[in-house]
A and B are shown apart, each in its own frame.
Chain A
Amino acid sequence: MSAGHSYDAVAYWKANLRLIFGSLIVWALVSYGFAILLRPMLAGIPIGGTDLGFWFAQQGSILTFIALIFHYAWRMNKIDEKFGVHEE
């Protein structure tokens, strides 16, 4: 059962890779960026006794991860349908 070549397989896979790439940039930015490496830059933004970097490290990154996964699942469903590779 090859995946069939009746649809534009290459374009579908590229669309998926583009979406993954964009999502992973955000994923890295909030955790490795805001919460760790860029924390000194956010030190001037106070939040409840500490700074924004601390918030990203303990809460913000987790909330962003959830949003990223649901966004990806929702967009991929659209892309699946657009290219006609969705499941019955």
Chain B
Amino acid sequence: MSQFAINLIFVGGSFLLYIGIAIWAKAGSTKDFYVAGGGVHPITNGAAIGADWMSAASFISMAGLIAAGGYANSTFLMGWTGGYVLLAMLLAPYLRKFGKFTVPEFIGDRFYSKNARLVAVICLIVASVTYVIGQMAGAGVAFSRFLEVDSTLGLIIAAVVVFMYAVMGGMKGITYTQVAQYCVLIVAYTIPAVFISLQLTGNPLPPLGLFSTHVDSGLPILDKLNQVIMDLGFNSYTADIDNKLNMVLFTLTLMIGTAGLPHVIIRFFTVPKVADARWSAGWALVFIALLYLTAPAVASMARLNLMTTIYPDGTSAAPIQYDERPQWIREWEVTGLIQYTDKNEDGRIQLYNDVPSFEQEADRRGWEGNELVVNRDILVLANPEIANLPGWVIGLIAAGGLAAALSTAAGLLLAISSAVSHDLIKGSINPNISEKGELLAARISMAVAIVVATYLGANPPGFAAQVVALAFGIAAASLFPTLMMGIFSKRVNNKGAVAGMLAGLAFTLSYIFVYKGWLFIPGTNNLPDTPENWVMGISPLSIGAVGAVVNFAVAFIVSNATEEPPVEIQELVESVRYPRGSGQAQDH
């Protein structure tokens, strides 16, 4: 059977499964649509959060980032998991007790202010839309590589599938498809990793393999990797770095950004009890950790595999002839994600780090520049081919990458549509809308959101890669601090909350725009985006954590200078702190 047929069976089979679930889990009420009826088991919810959270970025890009950056990019591992500790202790149980449907609704009620709710809606929509573009674009790449269809056509197929289960089933349909998608993506991610770990270290568990001995050389695998890449002029994989302030702030921005992302928070509204919200944060992190503990092993092993493919006789011997390159390089060359230029016209592939410190060595060997450019995003997708694994593993990776992208896209689309139908339409424009009318409005806004996301995924704006940083910056600087103060302080009032959100947001956006261009328009940046120009070495990607501090400070100062919140608001804060009575608070 051809590889194409195998891929088609895996991807097609998984899509049929999702559609089957959609037909089974149809939403009958707004409560079904927004919070899956509120009766999801904490372990089920944990798996759904896992799929909701682990996007194309986690599945496809993260191992490539770690492979390229080594120790320095451990920030992604800690940052994208540490936020669950904050969710479990600082937000999820209390927001579940509050028992409403959306994040802006809590902010609007707690700070008794339509403006606060509106600012929260805008933050939510900007953060979620930027995020969803990346998911749709990721789905497009997976389609074009594995199903050999045009990526726009692939995107439309993906959009139709999401449309079926998200519009029909709402949160209920999304929850159960996400559980199925979690299973597909985790199996797809771990199976190739187990094979590769076995091949390289003899240890079937990748997280243990990472710290084991490399079978061929007898060295620890990380030592072997360091040796190979440093011979070719690359930086050490495991060495410590100098700019620790930036590393701390970037990790912190990812952590509090994770805790403030609405599509994750609303998943905690689906469990029956406050205690379940705490447990499901733990289960979510267990399910996420299965992938996040495997990723660093995949990163180092795949990088070593790539190097030994190009230099089969060691780094001091000549690299392989271009004509003898393996099949997977030929296939990825077609997509443009691997590019070869024979700069010194010797017919071989010189892969090395073309930096001044390596110039002498390159001259000695007659190399005239690095000749192979490998896009780091292909690392996970090409992993089974690099390791010569059977065809069905490749089909599985295709289905897994799509599951990761689609499950996150669906969660984001639900967050967007509920903000529009519940916070904007029912909350401001037409408060007297009937239950049936609101459900219809939710479905229509979901459909519109899918069309917009598909269009933007097919024609991604040039700044698409930049705006993911924006999503975390916004969630960290605006939503997280405001939610936290709403629960942990009775003194912060409407004026303080609005001033704090706007100050945190303005500070964070300005710092990003100074380096990245105002509204990301090229050429409008005031300073070049290089480490020498950053204030105290803080990158624009790491500024969200500082923005959060600004938000807290402004909110406290303004609140203390103005009147106390009304008694009924202080009672509301009291009531979210105590779990008893969570059941009845579900409906309006």
| In contact, B77 and A57 (Cβ under 8 angstroms) | yes
| In contact, A3 and B580 (Cβ under 8 angstroms) | yes
Closest to B81 in A: A62
- Which of under 10, 10 to 19, 20 to 34, or 35 or more describes the interface residues of B? 35 or more
* A 31-78 contacts with B by CB, 8 A: 31-32, 35-37, 39-40, 43, 47-51, 53-55, 57-59, 61-63, 65-66, 68-70, 72-73, 76-77
A69 to B577, CA, bound (A): 18
Q: How many A-B residue pairs have CB under 8 A?
A: 153
Q: Which residues of chain A come closer than 8 Å to B392, judged between CB atoms?
A: none
| In contact, A80 and B579 (Cβ under 8 angstroms) | yes
Task: Assess whether B292 is interfacial by the CB under 8 Å rule.
Answer: yes
Q: Which residues of chain B come closer than 8 Å to A47, judged between CB atoms?
A: 211
Q: A47-B211, A49-B222, A59-B296 are contacts. A73–B85 as well, Cβ < 8 Å?
A: no
A38 to chain B, nearest CB (A): 10
* B 81-110 contacts with A by CB, 8 A: 81-82, 84-85, 88-90, 93
| In contact, A2 and B223 (Cβ under 8 angstroms) | no
Cβ 8 A contact of B274, one of A4, A24, A87: A87
| In contact, A85 and B580 (Cβ under 8 angstroms) | yes
Q: Which residues of chain B come closer than 8 Å to A76, judged between CB atoms?
A: 93, 275, 278
A47 to B319, CA, bound (A): 32
User: Contact mask B262-287 → A, CB, 8 Å, 1/0?
Assistant: 00000000000111001101100110
Interface of A is mostly: helix
| In contact, A70 and B90 (Cβ under 8 angstroms) | no
Q: A12-B578, A49-B223 are contacts. A73–B278 as well, Cβ < 8 Å?
A: yes
Q: A55-B211, A57-B78 are contacts. A86–B577 as well, Cβ < 8 Å?
A: no
Q: Which residues of chain B come closer than 8 Å to A86, judged between CB atoms?
A: 275, 579-580
Number of interface residues of A (CB under 8 A): 49
Task: Assess whether B289 is interfacial by the CB under 8 Å rule.
Answer: yes
Q: Which residues of chain B come closer than 8 Å to A37, judged between CB atoms?
A: 244, 248
Q: A37-B244, A87-B580 are contacts. A65–B285 as well, Cβ < 8 Å?
A: yes
| In contact, B281 and A69 (Cβ under 8 angstroms) | yes
Q: A76-B275, A87-B582 are contacts. A24–B85 as well, Cβ < 8 Å?
A: yes
A80 to B273, CA, bound (A): 13
A57 to B293, CA, bound (A): 11
Task: Assess whether B186 is interfacial by the CB under 8 Å rule.
Answer: no
Q: Which residues of chain B come closer than 8 Å to A72, judged between CB atoms?
A: 88-89, 278
Q: Which residues of chain A come closer than 8 Å to B207, judged between CB atoms?
A: 59
Q: A3-B574, A47-B211, A86-B275 are contacts. A31–B82 as well, Cβ < 8 Å?
A: yes
Q: A57-B74, A72-B88, A87-B273 are contacts. A66–B577 as well, Cβ < 8 Å?
A: no
A1 to B560, CA, bound (A): 27
Q: Which residues of chain B come closer than 8 Å to A77, judged between CB atoms?
A: 275, 278
A2 to B584, CA, bound (A): 13
Task: Assess whether B251 is interfacial by the CB under 8 Å rule.
Answer: yes
| In contact, A54 and B71 (Cβ under 8 angstroms) | yes
| In contact, A48 and B78 (Cβ under 8 angstroms) | no
Q: A3-B577, A48-B220, A73-B88 are contacts. A31–B78 as well, Cβ < 8 Å?
A: yes
Q: Which residues of chain B come closer than 8 Å to A70, judged between CB atoms?
A: 282
Task: Assess whether B575 is interfacial by the CB under 8 Å rule.
Answer: yes
Cβ 8 A contact of B85, one of A9, A59, A65, A87: A65
Q: A23-B89, A68-B85 are contacts. A63–B289 as well, Cβ < 8 Å?
A: yes
Cβ 8 A contact of B286, one of A23, A36, A57, A66: A66
Q: Which residues of chain B come closer than 8 Å to A9, judged between CB atoms?
A: 574, 577-578
Closest to B582 in A: A87
Closest to A75 in B: B278
* B 546-588 contacts with A by CB, 8 A: 571, 574-575, 577-585
Closest to B568 in A: A2
Task: Assess whether B238 is interfacial by the CB under 8 Å rule.
Answer: yes
Task: Assess whether B527 is interfacial by the CB under 8 Å rule.
Answer: no
A12 to B577, CA, bound (A): 9
Identify 17 residue pairs between A and B in the complex whose beta-carbon atoms are under 8 Å apart, listed by A's number: A1-B584, A4-B578, A9-B574, A27-B85, A32-B248, A35-B74, A37-B244, A37-B248, A54-B71, A62-B289, A69-B281, A69-B282, A72-B88, A80-B275, A85-B578, A85-B580, A87-B274
Known interface pairs A32-B252, A66-B286; 13 further A-B residue pairs with C-beta atoms within 8 A, sorted by A's residue number: A1-B584, A3-B577, A4-B580, A12-B577, A12-B578, A48-B222, A61-B77, A62-B81, A68-B85, A76-B275, A80-B275, A86-B580, A87-B273
> Chain A: residues with CB nearer than 8 A to chain B?
1-4, 9, 12-13, 16, 20, 23-24, 27, 31-32, 35-37, 39-40, 43, 47-51, 53-55, 57-59, 61-63, 65-66, 68-70, 72-73, 76-77, 80, 84-88
> Chain B: residues with CB nearer than 8 A to chain A?
66, 71, 74, 77-78, 81-82, 84-85, 88-90, 93, 207, 210-212, 219-224, 226, 238, 240, 244, 247-248, 251-252, 273-275, 278-279, 281-282, 285-286, 289, 292-293, 296, 571, 574-575, 577-585
